[in-house]
Chain A
Amino acid sequence: MKKFLIPLVLFFGLVIFLALGLQRDPQAIPSPLVDKPAPAFSLPTLDPAAGAFSPAEMQGRVWLLNVWATWCVACRQEHPLLVDFAQRHQVPIVGMSYKEIQPQDVQAQGMDANAKLQFARERSQVWLSRYGNPYVLSVIDLDGRVGIQYGVYGVPETYVIDKQGVIRYKAVGEVTPAILASKVLPLIQKLNAS
């Protein structure tokens, strides 16, 4: 009897480790940009009347940078969470509309740079008025160059940037209530206190 029990015992040993492994986040490989200064940029915003925005303007405040686009399905899924977050907390969220115009956008074909910017603004505004606007402002990164500097490889992405303009946290993909509660909020409180 005993020798036939060996496989069972071995298997449950394996299961215990797999269960422990599940508690871990294999994706939590630190981004090279974390704890580095947020790359500087100057980009136009959704508001045509306002001037260009650059991260230096947020000096002295803890803020979030959220990369999004109207074509991004996951952004729409995370959006209500951001809207709710913006209402509850005094933390400015800056949006970055990333590559709003995709090469397959037929309407935008043949437009010049200005017309494209205008088109992106209009479409983004419509989207924000429909789903709510959590952003204090949203910059427009049409060609994605700034995105590359930030190492964007999937939209949405969310960055926590501290008072000195240093990236302290980066979430790739949808922000979930769990990430907000366990990572983002405690971090923001800590950063605000310092």
Chain B
Amino acid sequence: MLAELGHFALILALLVACVQATLPLWGAWREIAAWQALARPAAFAQFGLVALSFAALTACFVNNDFSVSYVAQHSNSLLPTVYRVAAVWGGHEGSLLLWVLMLALWTAAVAAFSFSLPQAMVARVVGVLGWVSVGFLLFILALSNPFERLLPAAADGRDLNPLLQDPGLIIHPPMLYMGYVGFSVAFAFAIAALMAGRLDAAWARWSRPWTVVAWLFMTFGIGLGSWWAYYELGWGGWWFWDPVENASLMPWLVGTALIHSLMASDKRGNFKAWTVLLSISAFSLSLLGTFLVRSGVLTSVHAFATDPKRGVFILMFLAVVVGFSLTLYAWRMPKVRMGQAVSLLSRETLLLANSVLLVVACAAVLLGTIYPLVIDALNLGKLSVGPQYFNAVFVPLMVPLLVIMVPGTVVRWRESQWSELLLRLRWVALAALGVGLAAPALAGEWSIGAAFGFFLAAWVVLGSVQHMVLRWRQPGQIGAAYWGMQCAHIGLAVVVAGITGVKSYEVERDVRMGVGDVVTIEPYAFRLQGMSEVKGPNYRAVRADVEVLKNGQPIDRLYPEKRRYFSTAMPMTEAAIDTGFMRDLYVSLGDPIDGPTPQWSMRVYYKPFVPWIWAGVLLMVLGGGLAAVDRRYRAASPRTETMPTGVAPQGGA
């Protein structure tokens, strides 16, 4: 009964989406206020219906209703309740429902927090979002219905993939989807502005907080995914350049470029064409990511069950949405008045350089991700593109990006002087150089790569600190967005330091150990104290008891496990990690090795600086949060909008 209710709510949501996608847009075009006014109630109604549908599916999971095929395939009566809820998005159908729920949530948020916007604009934005929703709801109802019955019901479910039975994975997909789908708002604003033929500063101003919020969710989601891969997969790696990871990285890179480009469009009216293109691209890449993940054209550790019809549908949807947007872009853009010319050294130029670098990096990732597909399509064989390619192209693009980050926050709009810039930053540069030269020596062996990485991180951190100190001394209020920017920049620097440290100094030992054996990674020693059997709710595990000693003193006990879930034949490793400020100690238990005395293969890793990667990600998320709550976005009263953009209060962000 609940399943039918959820199904029915979803059908109603599609009908509402059809209304939402047509009448308000028509009303905006024909200037019929009553039809424009339909946008808000339609957005709220759709959110209510999709939420109801989602709640119904969740209830089916919690109640162990194995007469619903999707539940039977992704849950099990032994599965703990919290994972039963998370299992709602553990498979294809449910993740799409989550996608639509997020879209409805964003649409409702736009409808709720947009009272300062002209009604016609709201009607257009909500209408465009309605079209996206129509596409996805049609997809779910026609090809991926999570409410399909399985009659007679299964006695028990197949269980959630054990890899997904993990706290990190409960919130990783919702966060990531919030980000993916959030870019639809910036997209809708751009399309609405193109439709209206008005690409003014107000459009950029309205888009900014939405884009930042989507970006921060995406950052958090990607960070969580990376953290999960790190401790759950048992290899100690935190980024694999897997196609599905790339699918989320690409919109993130373009989204980051968009945030910066929107700033130039908002403050100076520059780069409008570029900003619009980025808005369209960020969301298109989100859709492309959905296509790559959901259609199964690429295999990866995320390999999901595939159905060719689904791939065709998403591809057609992608072609229609992006094709329409880019056609509209090609048609409307030539009429838009471009911004004023700027000198070579100006904040505009550096912001443009920033977004070009990010877009090129995204293009490189895209190329590497779909290259196997292109080669296969041309009948040139099957191949895969490995991390070597990605590291080789990605890192050189990030270096100039980090270098220009500091001058980018320092130089003036329009025009700036080289001498002034050099004078201001010379001590920062020298100090960063000092850190770069000294830090590797303190951390371990000196190497040029480590020195360069630490130099870049120090350059950004010191540049930000100097900027903050100077800004603090000046009179006038400082907006939250300013602190947000500095926080996010420092966060990125911390990530860079973390990556540099772990890449340069990690020690990995693959060993076989019996009870009583010791592995040493100076100054740490790991002693296998014993093995035991433990029983979880839906698995049995072998657990190793490893004592960690530092200079002979015990500091921690680690309990890595090898779990065997009842539902699958595949054993799962559960690594144990001792996290400190400067390093992780990582132990993962492998397979037993036959021999006269029982032994196990073990991986013992010393991972310096790894916690910095997650700490940096959290700083970036915090920075995004600060930027999004800045007062000026909420106080976008008509008075400030009619002000010439040059006079707008300069927060520095």
Contact = CB atoms under 8 A, between A and B. Distances in A.
Interface of A: 1, 4-5, 7-8, 11-12, 14-15, 17-24, 26-27, 29, 71-74, 76, 99, 102-104, 144, 147-148, 152-153, 173
28 contacts: A5-B330, A7-B326, A7-B330, A8-B327, A11-B323, A11-B326, A17-B373, A17-B377, A18-B291, A21-B370, A21-B377, A22-B315, A23-B377, A24-B373, A24-B376, A71-B155, A71-B156, A71-B158, A73-B73, A73-B157, A74-B73, A99-B569, A102-B567, A104-B78, A104-B566, A144-B569, A147-B569, A148-B569
A7 B329 contact: yes
Majority secondary structure of chain A interface residues (helix, strand, loop or mixed): helix
Given A4-B334, A12-B323, A73-B154, A22 B370 contact: no
Interface in B324-346: 326-327, 329-330, 333-334
Contacts of B478: none
Nearest to B382: A29
Interface in B311-365: 311-312, 315, 318-319, 322-323, 326-327, 329-330, 333-334
Nearest to B318: A15
Nearest 6 pairs of A and B residues by beta carbon: A20-B377, A8-B326, A21-B373, A4-B330, A26-B299, A103-B566
Given A14-B370, A147-B569, A19 B330 contact: no
Centre residue among A20, A21, A27, A73 by max chain B CB count within 10 A:
A21
Majority secondary structure of chain B interface residues (helix, strand, loop or mixed): helix
B569 A153 contact: yes
A11 B284 contact: yes
Contacts of B319: 12, 15
Nearest to A102: B566
B155 to A, nearest CB: 7
A72 B73 CA distance: 9
Given A4-B333, A103-B566, A18 B156 contact: no
B380 interface: no
Contact of B295 (A17, A22, A104, A147): A22
Given A11-B322, A11-B326, A72-B158, A26 B297 contact: yes
B100 interface: no
B150 A73 contact: yes
Given A15-B315, A73-B150, A153-B569, A21 B329 contact: no
A4 B540 CA distance: 60
B296 interface: yes
Contacts of A21: 297, 370, 373-374, 376-377
A74 B74 CA distance: 12
Contacts of B72: 73
Contacts of B158: 71-74
Contacts of A7: 277, 280-281, 326, 329-330
A18 B284 CA distance: 14
A81 B150 CA distance: 17
Contacts of B312: 22
Contacts of A102: 566-567
Contacts of A72: 158
Contacts of A1: 330, 334
A148 B571 CA distance: 13
B154 A22 contact: no
B570 interface: yes
A15 B78 CA distance: 44
Interface residues of B, number: 50
A179 to B, nearest CB: 12
Nearest to B307: A176
B329 A18 contact: no
Contacts, number: 100
A1 B327 CA distance: 11
Nearest to B319: A15
Interface in B148-181: 150, 154-158
Contact of B299 (A5, A12, A15, A27): A27
Interface in B538-593: 538, 540, 566-567, 569-570
B373 A18 contact: yes
Contacts of A26: 296-299, 376
Contacts of B330: 1, 4-5, 7-8
Contacts of B303: 27
Interface in B123-169: 150, 154-158
Nearest to A98: B569
B377 A103 contact: no
A31 B69 CA distance: 29
B273 interface: yes
Centre residue among A12, A19, A26 by max chain B CB count within 10 A:
A26
Contacts of A74: 73, 158
A72 B327 CA distance: 49
A148 B298 CA distance: 27
Nearest to A173: B305
B374 A17 contact: yes
A45 B555 CA distance: 55
B518 to A, nearest CB: 33
B308 interface: yes
A72 B334 CA distance: 59
A61 to B, nearest CB: 29
A103 B569 contact: no
B399 to A, nearest CB: 26
Contacts of B299: 26-27, 29
Centre residue among B297, B322, B376 by max chain A CB count within 10 A:
B297
Interface in B470-491: none
B61 to A, nearest CB: 15
Nearest to A7: B326
A20 B329 CA distance: 26
Contact of B297 (A11, A24, A104): A24
B279 to A, nearest CB: 12
Contacts of A14: 370
B297 A18 contact: yes
B592 to A, nearest CB: 15
Nearest to A155: B569
A17 B367 CA distance: 12
Interface string B286-309: 000001000111110001011010
B326 A22 contact: no
Nearest to A72: B158
A152 B329 CA distance: 51
Contacts of B273: 4
A120 to B, nearest CB: 15
Nearest to B284: A11
Contacts of A104: 78, 156, 538, 566
Contact of A22 (B284, B297, B305, B329): B297
